[in-house]
A and B are shown apart, each in its own frame.
Chain A
Amino acid sequence: AQKVTQAQTEISVVEKEDVTLDCVYETRDTTYYLFWYKQPPSGELVFLIRRNSFDEQNEISGRYSWNFQKSTSSFNFTITASQVVDSAVYFCALSEAPFGYGGSQGNLIFGKGTKLSVKP
Chain B
Amino acid sequence: DSGVTQTPKHLITATGQRVTLRCSPRSGDLSVYWYQQSLDQGLQFLIQYYNGEERAKGNILERFSAQQFPDLHSELNLSSLELGDSALYFCASSFGLAGAMDTQYFGPGTRLTVL
Residues of chain A at the chain B interface (Cβ within 8 Å): 32-33, 35, 37, 43-47, 50, 91, 95-97, 101-113
Q: How many residues of B contact A (CB 8 A)?
A: 30
B38-69 vs A: 1/0 string, CB under 8 Å? 00001111001000000110100000000000
Contact B45 A108 (CB under 8 A): yes
Residue in contact with A45 in the complex, picked from B31, B56, B58, B90, CB distance below 8 Å: B90
A110 to B104 CA separation, bound complex (whole angstroms): 13
Residues of chain B at the chain A interface (Cβ within 8 Å): 2, 31, 33, 35, 42-45, 48, 55-56, 58, 88, 90, 92, 94, 97-109, 111
Dominant secondary structure at the B interface: strand
Q: Can you spell out 13 A-B residue pairs with CB atoms less than 8 angstroms apart? A: A44-B107, A101-B97, A101-B98, A101-B100, A105-B100, A106-B31, A106-B48, A106-B97, A106-B104, A108-B43, A109-B45, A110-B42, A113-B42
Dominant secondary structure at the A interface: loop
Contact B48 A110 (CB under 8 A): no
Smallest distance from the beta carbon of B100 to chain A beta carbons, Å?
4
Q: Hey, which chain A residues are within 8 Å of B45, CB to CB?
A: 107-109
